[in-house]
Structure 1
């Protein structure tokens, strides 16, 4: 469950376009360009493309775990042809503080690399997707993008996509231990992570892989070389629920662009 405050919602805008960016006349207020970057074929036979959304000054959009009051992009690949799977790669996000509330996302533009695995590598790929996302400035606008692109040939390396891939949080094998406890409307998570300090303003982001749940803004502090972060998880049912510790993902953002990701948090 993700919060998108109804008082801030304007209208749902549906856009239909190919890999060529949409013109400004086709876009909602706050969005200046949107499209799919053509990308290249990888050594494994997959194809690396990207969703590229550009925003007007002051506007932002959200990361996969958007914070207390945001809407993460949601993807539907139904209608694609010769597509076995699509993996979305997420660059390091920014943290925003607005009216005492923390959200997580991207300002000015969002570049999400898309790794497309064809069902048959010898045939062209037609990628068809509906992307639901929110963009915000003083108001928030929910947007529905309908995208389609024909992907053929080896393509060519794209430095913009390559930079977004390089900006992903580094996988971190460090020791993380979690304690889970039921609360009235969900589960409380306490994570203890053995991690050297990452500078001023460390931020811990806690999410649950594979299930949409609302997550409170984590409360984070340090005890020397140990980072401790706590948050509440509330599902749509607003009741305690089973959590597999292997599905917990913790991202730590530090000073100077540092970012690490810990997958799984055993008890």
Structure 2
């Protein structure tokens, strides 16, 4: 099988990271227990007026260490969640606070340092009955080296809890919606490539401040390469290639594409685009 050039680059990065990992993880682990690098707790935010329950995963990172956003950049490790063992959960929605952009050795990664409060809104199968939040989170931890880590949690929700200030702060730190950011239009043009489809999007919106970084995300069947973005007057242009996550044809639903713009003033979360 012939690998797409972007995948060859990604594979080379992963192999280099693995080589560094095997050389450096043992000394790091010997000097510092993994539990000293990151810890996880589940916070209670109590029930909402519409019958849902608000909780959060709270990660604390050792000084100088960082972890990654859901779309971590070409050199990052995307977090993965498994909720096996949870009880009385019909639906679960995560709200990601606005991440930071890190530039390391010329590579861009996106994530968080010090701590991460990740709000979780739960719709129970049976309102008023006990809720158990159990599972694991697989993530990357990076400082001088990158270490794959797995965190386990098991928490019985306190249905009598009140509003939690850390959860409220994390929700307030979410990116603006398209309407809040005064996005006027988002158009995207799709063009075939040897391995997938190129997405060229034009986002008509006021500046998010400073140098803006855009991130294009596909749905679960598509993986986007690192996004290139630049300003052309009142429009932000963003381009990426969408590749299939598994063997098969590439089909793109424009309404399922997600665009995040990260600026120095704020971030913007945009869902979908129209043909253009």
* Aligned twin of 1:205: 215
The Cα of 1:29 is off from its aligned counterpart by: 5.6
* Aligned twin of 2:234: 225
Q: 1:59 aligns with which of 55, 62, 65?
A: 65
The Cα of 1:226 is off from its aligned counterpart by: 1.0
- For the residue of structure 1 that corresponds to 2:72, the secondary structure is strand
* Aligned twin of 1:16: none
Range with greater deviation from structure 2 (88-97 or 232-241):
232-241
Q: 1:85 aligns with which of 73, 82, 91?
A: 91
Question: Residue 196 in 1 paired to residue 206 in 2?
Answer: yes
Question: Residue 254 in 1 paired to residue 263 in 2?
Answer: yes
The Cα of 1:72 is off from its aligned counterpart by: 1.8
The Cα of 1:28 is off from its aligned counterpart by: 4.4
Task: String of CA shifts for 1:175-227, please: whole Å, max 9, x gaps.
Answer: 100111221222211100111222211111111133451x3322212221111
Residues 6, 149 of structure 1: alpha-carbon distance in 2 compared, 3 angstrom cutoff: farther
Residues 35, 130 of structure 1: alpha-carbon distance in 2 compared, 3 angstrom cutoff: same
Residues 220, 192 of structure 1: alpha-carbon distance in 2 compared, 3 angstrom cutoff: same
Q: List runs of 5+ in structure 1 lacking aligned partners.
A: 12-24
Residues 221, 138 of structure 1: alpha-carbon distance in 2 compared, 3 angstrom cutoff: same
CA contact (8 A) 1:184 1:239 kept: no
CA contact (8 A) 1:182 1:240 kept: no
TM-score (norm 1): 0.87
CA distance in 1, matches of 2:37, 2:273: 38
- For the residue of structure 2 that corresponds to 1:65, the secondary structure is coil
Name whichever structure is richer in strand by fraction. 1
Residues 254, 143 of structure 1: alpha-carbon distance in 2 compared, 3 angstrom cutoff: same
Task: String of CA shifts for 1:86-111, please: whole Å, max 9, x gaps.
Answer: 11110101001111111111111111
The Cα of 1:240 is off from its aligned counterpart by: 5.8
Q: List runs of 5+ in structure 2 lacking aligned partners.
A: 1-6, 23-31
* Aligned twin of 2:188: 178
Task: String of CA shifts for 1:125-171, please: whole Å, max 9, x gaps.
Answer: 11111211111111111111221111132201111110000011111
The Cα of 1:30 is off from its aligned counterpart by: 2.8
* Aligned twin of 1:126: 132
CA contact (8 A) 1:132 1:142 kept: yes
TM-score (norm 2): 0.84
* Aligned twin of 1:14: none
Question: Residue 47 in 1 paired to residue 53 in 2?
Answer: yes
CA distance in 1, matches of 2:71, 2:240: 13
Question: Residue 72 in 1 paired to residue 62 in 2?
Answer: no
The Cα of 1:56 is off from its aligned counterpart by: 1.4
* Aligned twin of 1:18: none
* Aligned twin of 1:147: 153
The Cα of 1:236 is off from its aligned counterpart by: 3.3
CA contact (8 A) 2:222 2:243 kept: no
Question: Residue 114 in 1 paired to residue 120 in 2?
Answer: yes
CA contact (8 A) 1:185 1:238 kept: no
Name whichever structure is richer in helix by fraction. 2
- Structure number with greater CO (CA < 8 Å, separation at least 6) is 1
CA distance in 1, matches of 2:103, 2:247: 26
